Amino acid sequence: MSNVFYRSRKPYPVATRAEGVYIFDDSGRRYLDGSSGALVANIGHGRAAVADAMAAQARRLAFVHGSQFSSGVLEEYAARLATFLGLPDFRFWAVSGGSEATESAIKLARQYHAERGETGRYRIVTRRPSYHGASLGALAASGMGARRELYTPLMNEAAWPKLAAPDPELSGQADAERLRALLQEVGPDTVAAFMCEPVVGASDAALAPNTGYHTRIAQICREYGVLFVADEVMCGMGRCGTPLALRLHEDVTPDITVLGKGLAAGYAPLAGLMASGEVHNTVMNGSGAFKHGFTYAGHPVSVAAGLSVLDIVEGERLMEAANERGAQLLEGLQELKAQYPQILEARGHGLLLGLVLGDPATGEAFETPGLAERVAAAARIGGLITYPGSGAVDGVRGDHLLLGPALSITAAQVDEMLSGLDGALADTRD
């Protein structure tokens, strides 16, 4: 008997080591990590430089509490990160995971308005589908029915209005105007923030709005005094080929950017948010403190990992690599789409890509989801790890497969991924 509380009843192989895009289990079997875990391991596994940086920091200073001390490594990382992201006057709030980062953004948006005397602003508008995290506030913000249904009695649903997903049939500007209509419906003076994923990840693989959407969203938010929060936990830090996915095709600056996953690329728990100078100064010149915090926020060893990861992303030009290998992978996915009619759409940016699966006879989602899980299971048997999902259409219907290997993946390894997908799709054709 194991004393581990696993996430489900399925059997779990025991991982023993990992290198590059490969993970090895205790039977010696090798898996190509085609989803970087949950799109986390952006620089690949087994980087000695990151481990060395963490060890050196642990020997020098392993922990201080953020209410009592800063640290040299945190100061250096915040400055480097602001420059990398092109947000020079923003301030970095460090936490341990994406859900904590989302919770922090929600609370910061609320406090920002309260500091300005607008205490009636409490609603956070998000989209359906979306996924912003597993903690209760982050889950309430999420528009992912399957993950939040059990816990809806714990949520004040009126505080979390949901906007429809981006519509590829609409221009970006027209699509964004639906936010204006929703704000007018719920009362714009009750809304603290609008939060969205510039490129959607887990809830509707690699879905992105048309160009012009985010520019108009930012304009509408400014018009109504609503903060614009970009959730870049999955799509940011170079995964889509740019530091911020929000700036793929538009010059947009959010008020708050939520970050995670690729910050430390799985080597240590690290996430956080970047807050604009206006948001930061309003809080600090008001009550003088952000009324929020976590014990391990700004943990020096985690931040040292993040600093080393950033060195690798910049030094090895991994954003450029994400665009090159992403174009190769997307071309291969388009070829699979032509071969397998159960693929309704292949899409993505950089190395955040996805397959939308469904009924080839109707071109719509199956009434009963499950194809994505079957394809992922078949791929895993063949030694390829992917990230399946369902429910994008209405919370139940809809199958998709998210793909996001390390940005350091080689051309030959992309071909290996495509071969594994080909076999899995063939095995689940009927």
Q: How far apart are CA 325 and CA 333, in angstroms?
A: 12
Which pair of structure tokens corresponds to residue 310? 């950033």
Same domain for 294 and 348?
no
CATH number of residue 86's parent domain:
3.40.640.10
> Tens of pLDDT along 28-73?
999 999 999 999 999 999 999 999 999 999 999 999 999 999 999 9
CATH number of residue 393's parent domain:
3.90.1150.10
Mean pLDDT of all residues in 334-352: 98
Host domain of residue 239 = 49-315
Give the C-alpha distances (Å, rounded to integers) separating 240 from 126, 142, 201, 321, 421: 21, 21, 11, 10, 21
Same domain for 169 and 195?
yes
DSSP type of residue 157:
G
| Beta strand ranges found along 268-397 (DSSP E) | 271-275, 343-349, 352-357, 384-385, 387-390
Which pair of structure tokens corresponds to residue 248? 């793929």
Same domain for 140 and 239?
yes
> Which one of 281, 315, 349 terminates a domain?
315
Please report whether residue 8 resides in a domain: no
> Tens of pLDDT along 265-320?
999 999 999 999 999 999 999 999 999 999 999 999 999 999 999 999 999 999 99
Same domain for 33 and 141?
no
Q: Report pLDDT for 144.
A: 87
Q: How far apart are CA 187 and CA 159, in angstroms?
A: 12
Please report whether residue 9 resides in a domain: no
Q: How far apart are CA 261 and CA 267, in angstroms?
A: 10
> Which one of 315, 342, 360 terminates a domain?
315
Same domain for 175 and 64?
yes
Same domain for 277 and 255?
yes
Q: Which residues lie below 8 Å from residue 5, measured CB to CB, with a gap of 6+?
A: none
Same domain for 387 and 327?
yes
Please report whether residue 4 resides in a domain: no
Q: Report pLDDT for 210.
A: 98
Q: Report pLDDT for 45.
A: 98
Please report whether residue 70 resides in a domain: yes
Please report whether residue 152 resides in a domain: yes
Please report whether residue 199 resides in a domain: yes
> Tens of pLDDT along 210-259?
999 999 999 999 999 999 999 999 999 999 999 999 999 999 999 999 99
Helices (H) and strands (E) in the chain, counts: 13, 15
Same domain for 37 and 63?
no
Q: Which residues lie below 8 Å from residue 343, measured CB to CB, with a gap of 6+?
A: 333, 336, 337, 355, 356, 357, 425
Res. 430: pLDDT tops 80? no
Q: How far apart are CA 192 and CA 106, in angstroms?
A: 9
Q: Which residues lie below 8 Å from residue 70, measured CB to CB, with a gap of 6+?
A: 64, 298
Q: Give CA 291 to chain center in angstroms.
A: 25
Same domain for 107 and 31?
no
Please report whether residue 137 resides in a domain: yes
pLDDT band, very low/low/confident/very high, at 147 (cuts 50, 70, 90) = confident
Please report whether residue 10 resides in a domain: no
> Which one of 253, 288, 315 terminates a domain?
315
Whether cis (ω within 30° of 0) applies to the bond prior to 198 is no
Report how far apart the first and last C-alpha atoms of the chain are (Å, whole number).
Answer: 37
Same domain for 283 and 382?
no
Q: Report pLDDT for 307.
A: 98
Residue 136: what residue type?
L
Same domain for 184 and 60?
yes
Q: How far apart are CA 155 and CA 99, in angstroms?
A: 16
Residue 110: what residue type?
R
Average pLDDT, the chain: 97
Res. 414: pLDDT tops 90? yes
Same domain for 136 and 164?
yes
pTM: 0.97
- b/e sequence 341-363, b meaning 16+ C-beta within 10 Å: ebbbbbbbbbbbbbbbbbeeeee
Domain count along the chain: 2
